[in-house]
Structure 1
């Protein structure tokens, strides 16, 4: 696809031909649910998010904080690329390795650690945990 993009006369031509547009957080969350074969209720529970608030996020009715998006990413079992895509879709900053807290989170995602273990690592290093 990259080669095709680089050979077209306009990026708009490419994005229209491949139906590529801006994905909302709600759209991407629901796409990940389908791809991973997960249930929304299980993901919201695993993320430690209030059930009503979680459903509103998935429906696009509420905008979560960056930490809530990260909690959902862990609950969905997202890798680094998927996590940063979720953050972008939410209008939040991607994880940045030069930020101490983000570096710990990046390390944990890369090692396949869950939300609880990640919070333990954040706490161990004196950083704010994801789950309040």
Structure 2
């Protein structure tokens, strides 16, 4: 499902009589991590078990994240983003749903992660790039 551009939504929000009407019209609700993960699996035709394996997560822990029974650290969310082959925009939305900071290009480690996401690197290659630059790896 194609989401409207942020700029378009901003203009509509500023023209709205009140924020409640705008929020109802666009069904703006806080998206949970598990809801967004399930949505991404469906959109991308991925299987949960394979995604958890590719993310290098323990099966039980991964299942609990997908079911909303456990939260995930920023790095665990990034592991899932790489395992799912997410774009930068999708990865930032996933981080946001998890209550974590989005990737920030002025942060050296985040800049390397952004570069790797943009190039479609697998998680292992992203970790190799982080290691090569002396940054903490994701896993």
CA distance in structure 1 between the partners assigned to 2:15 and 2:65 by the alignment? 38
TM-score (norm 2): 0.89
- Decide which of 44, 47, 70 is 1:39's aligned counterpart: 47
TM-score (norm 1): 0.94
- Decide which of 84, 87, 94 is 2:95's aligned counterpart: 87
Q: Any gaps of 5 or more consecutive residues in structure 2?
A: 1-7
- 2:74 counterpart of 1:74: no
Q: What displacement does 1:99 show?
A: 1.1
Q: What displacement does 1:30 show?
A: 0.6
* Structure 1 stretches of at least 4 aligned residues deviating more than 4 Å after TM superposition: none
CA distance in structure 1 between the partners assigned to 2:76 and 2:117 by the alignment? 15
RMSD over aligned Cα atoms: 1.2
Q: Any gaps of 5 or more consecutive residues in structure 1?
A: none
Aligned length: 131
- 2:60 counterpart of 1:22: no
Listed as ranges, the matches of 1:105-116 within 5 Å are 105-116=113-124
